[in-house]
């Protein structure tokens, strides 16, 4: 999902056939004038399934989190909810619909997205290309950081990490050795052994993007939710991939597919070091926010059959949101600003 604060402006189009680093190529393919996230239509939901699309239970949990932030802030006159990389505004609209009336009346909901405002979106949702400054409330970035483009490094036959260059058709070759700030980032966060073929995504642009966006929160909570890994378990060959029409595919930087890579959330956390920062799995966060995949008692089937069917469907949706090996493994980076941790657990 897209946001203008994805690190940099889009590169000039028309250079797709030349060799470039993955960061430049993906930035153009995703956010350029003809990029994947600039196209009209059904948006990201037509290509991949996020927690927002899986069940309204997710928006309900985020609404409960916003209410907890509201309580911690002393119920301000204006309560901000900022939905980073809003897609078609599904989460922002779902949160507003799930809030108690008294809280919804005070909530300023902002959807941050490069694409145009979709028809039919709740008029209470403000559509922006950048988050507002001085946020008092909750900034929530669901599957944004994985689409902040990054360069890829690969170890050559001599044991040297080199930048991976790519053409518009997805073919690659190795470029120059990784140097400077990128090399320092690799050394600290994703050191590569001298074994030919090992790969890493250089997450420095994501660290900077998150620090900038989280810095817009004056008081409240900043949360990033994404495919993630930490230093204890980096994938040896990286995670760069593509998605098109609901299926995983080869990442080709021609604007025809989503291009994504998992996020080193521990590095993002350190880039915006705040007291109370913590990382947890989505299943832990949603459990603390009242989302449970437990089946309803069988006795309910005889006393309230319709209620039992509804409860069973809800449990199935909750199970998908919290499933090991699936959405439940997503990482949550939680950073309170001037309040305690409202998730608890």
Q: What is the pLDDT of residues 212-224, one digit of tens each?
A: 999 999 999 999 9
Residue 235 in this model has a pLDDT that exceeds 80: yes
Query: Is the pLDDT at 153 greater than 90, yes or no?
Result: yes
Could you report the per-residue pLDDT of 251-307, keeping only the tens digit for each?
A: 999 999 999 999 999 999 999 989 999 999 999 999 999 887 666 566 665 675 676
pLDDT value, residue 321: 74
Task: State the chain's mean pLDDT as an integer.
Answer: 88
On the question of pLDDT at 232 being above 90, the answer is: yes
Tens digit of each residue's pLDDT (9 = 90 or more) over 122-132: 999 999 999 99
Q: Per-residue pLDDT averaged across 316-339, rounded? A: 85
**What are the DSSP E strand ranges found in the chain?**
20-21, 79-84, 107-112, 125-128, 135-142, 151-155, 161-166, 172-177, 199-202, 217-226, 228-229, 241-244, 247-249, 258-260, 263-264, 278-281, 331-337
Better-scored residue on pLDDT, 176 or 37: 176
Model pLDDT, residue 10 = 35
What pLDDT is stored for residue 301 in this prediction? 59
Q: How confident is the model at residue 168 (pLDDT cuts 50, 70, 90)?
A: very high
Band (53; pLDDT cuts 50, 70, 90): confident
Query: Per residue in 239-251, pLDDT tens?
Result: 999 998 878 999 9
Q: What is the pLDDT of residue 302?
A: 62
pLDDT tens for 71-115 read 999 999 999 999 999 999 999 999 999 999 999 999 999 999 988
Q: What band does 320 get if pLDDT is binned at 50, 70 and 90?
A: confident
3-state SS assignment for residue 218? strand
Angle at 88 between CA 87 and CA 91, to 5 degrees: 80
2 pLDDT band, cuts 50/70/90, is very low
Residues above pLDDT 90, as percent of the chain:
71
What's the confidence (pLDDT) of residue 12?
34
Q: How many CB atoms lie within 10 A of CB 333?
A: 24
This prediction's pTM: 0.87
Strand order in 79-84's β-sheet? Answer: 125-128, 107-112, 79-84, 135-142, 217-226, 331-337, 278-281
């Amino acid at each position: 999902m897209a946001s203008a604060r994805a690190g940099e402006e889009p590169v000039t189009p028309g250079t797709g056939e030349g060799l470039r680093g993955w960061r430049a190529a993906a930035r153009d393919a995703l956010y350029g004038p003809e990029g994947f996230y600039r196209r009209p239509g059904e948006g990201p939901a037509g290509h991949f399934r996020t927690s927002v699309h899986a069940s309204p239970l997710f928006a309900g949990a985020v609404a409960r989190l916003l209410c907890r932030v509201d309580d911690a802030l002393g119920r301000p006159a204006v309560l901000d909810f900022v939905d980073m990389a809003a897609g078609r505004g599904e989460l922002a609209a779902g949160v507003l619909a799930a809030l108690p009336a008294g809280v919804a009346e005070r909530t300023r909901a902002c959807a941050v997205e490069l694409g145009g405002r979709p028809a039919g979106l709740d008029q209470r949702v403000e559509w922006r290309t950048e988050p507002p400054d001085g946020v008092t409330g909750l900034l929530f970035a669901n599957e944004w950081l994985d689409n902040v483009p990054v360069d890829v490094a690969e170890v050559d036959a001599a044991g040297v990490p080199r930048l991976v260059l790519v053409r518009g058709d997805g073919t690659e070759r190795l470029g120059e050795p990784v140097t400077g700030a990128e090399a320092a980032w690799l050394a600290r966060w994703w050191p590569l052994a001298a074994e030919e073929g090992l790969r890493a995504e250089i997450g420095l642009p994501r660290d900077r993007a998150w620090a900038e966006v989280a810095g817009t929160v004056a008081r409240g909570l900043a949360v990033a939710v994404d495919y993630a890994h930490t230093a204890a378990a980096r994938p040896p060959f990286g995670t760069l991939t593509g998605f098109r029409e609901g299926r995983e595919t080869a990442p080709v930087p021609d604007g025809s597919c989503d291009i994504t890579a998992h996020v080193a959330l521990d590095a993002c956390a350190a880039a915006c070091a705040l007291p109370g920062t913590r990382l947890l799995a989505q299943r832990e966060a949603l459990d603390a926010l009242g989302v449970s995949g437990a089946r309803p008692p069988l006795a309910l089937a005889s006393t309230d059959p319709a209620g039992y069917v509804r409860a069973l469907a809800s449990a199935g949706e909750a199970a998908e949101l919290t499933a090991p090996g699936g959405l439940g493994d997503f990482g949550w980076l939680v950073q309170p600003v001037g309040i305690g941790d409202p998730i608890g657990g």
